[in-house]
Amino acid sequence: MTEGAGGAPSEYIVARHLWIVGAGRTGLALGLRLHRAHAVARLTVTGRRPHAPEHPLFAGDPPGAAYRASVEDAPEDADAVVIAVPDAAIAEVAERLASIGLPPSIPILHTSGSRSTDVLDPLAERGHPAASAHPLAAIADPVDGADRLAGATWGVEGEGAAAALAERMVRACGGHALRIAPGGKPAYHAAAVFASNYAVALLSVAERLMEQAGVPAAEARPALAALAAGAVENVGARGPAAALTGPVARGDVQTVALHLGRLSADERTLYSLLGREALRLARTEGVDAAAAERLGALLGEGS
């Protein structure tokens, strides 16, 4: 096997000169992950600040990446572009990139989870292969996020040279790619929101209910997080239906009624919505039919 930049296997080389447009959490974390993996020979990052932010990528002599403060100040020899800006800004960045006359062979992808590749149409119309690659990872910090990207799963949409660029980038991060069907981005991203953001929201509700039960949040939080982690681990190992536990899975009508009688109106609505989904799973596992019927009525099924 031949060796690439920094001694990395050539099959993991993402690009000779990768240009990341966006110096936020995702762009910097991705740049740092690829730099540590020796997956790019050269790296340029463009942000909105006049000077490079404090970040390991721009430290050292020489630094791991060059910094530029304007999209119009494009690196002349970049052979791949990743747009890592907020979703609402992708279209504007695509238009600006389309106006500066990049060689049309350069593949370009964005990292949004919800936007499809059609947001890059101004570039595609000029001959640029276009795709998207979104990490299923919670990147809350531009430095620690690099560790989150190690081994992460990515949603990849697109074809041709841009999709190949995305696949190389995923491999360089040690990750796995989920190929998304054309037009599937909204459903894909909604799934990610349910699994991540709304799981956090549900734990916030659980913590609030613990406080109502007299348990301080500082004590309840690690216990609830461990409980949720165990449930998630079971889903990964066995699938949602087999992993479901609790009163709905047991057909325990009295306990569900007790819960509903204690919750606020908003909490009852949320509990009932989730309870109906849990009941759907419980039915696939053979919960008692009579108990399921009473639970369905209690949780507002069919209303």
Is the predicted pLDDT of residue 175 greater than 60, yes or no?
Answer: yes
- pLDDT(9) > 50: no
Structural tokens at position 6: 């920094």
pTM: 0.83
CB burial of 134-165 (b: ≥16 within 10 Å; e: otherwise) equals: bbbbebeebeebbbbbeebebbbbbeebbbeb
Residues 52-108: tens digit of each pLDDT: 999 999 998 899 999 999 999 999 899 999 999 999 999 999 999 999 989 999 999
Phi first, then psi, for residue 291 (nearest 5°) are: -65, -40
E-strand stretches of 111-184:
130-135, 153-158, 176-179
- Top-level class of domain 195-298: mainly alpha
Which pLDDT value is given to residue 13?
85
Parts of the chain belonging to CATH 1.10.1040: 195-298
Q: Which are the contacts of 154, defined by CB distance < 8 A and separation ≥ 6?
A: 133, 134, 135, 136, 166, 169, 170, 173, 175, 176, 177, 178
Residues of the chain with CATH 3.40.50.720: 5-183
pLDDT, residue 12, reads 55
Q: Answer for the pair 85, 19: CB distance below 8 angstroms, yes or no.
A: no
The SS3 assignment for 103 reads coil
Across the range 174-203, mean pLDDT stands at 94
| 59 phi, psi to nearest 5 deg | -100, 170
Class of domain 5-183: alpha beta
pLDDT at position 10 is 43
Residue 134 has pLDDT above 60, yes or no: yes
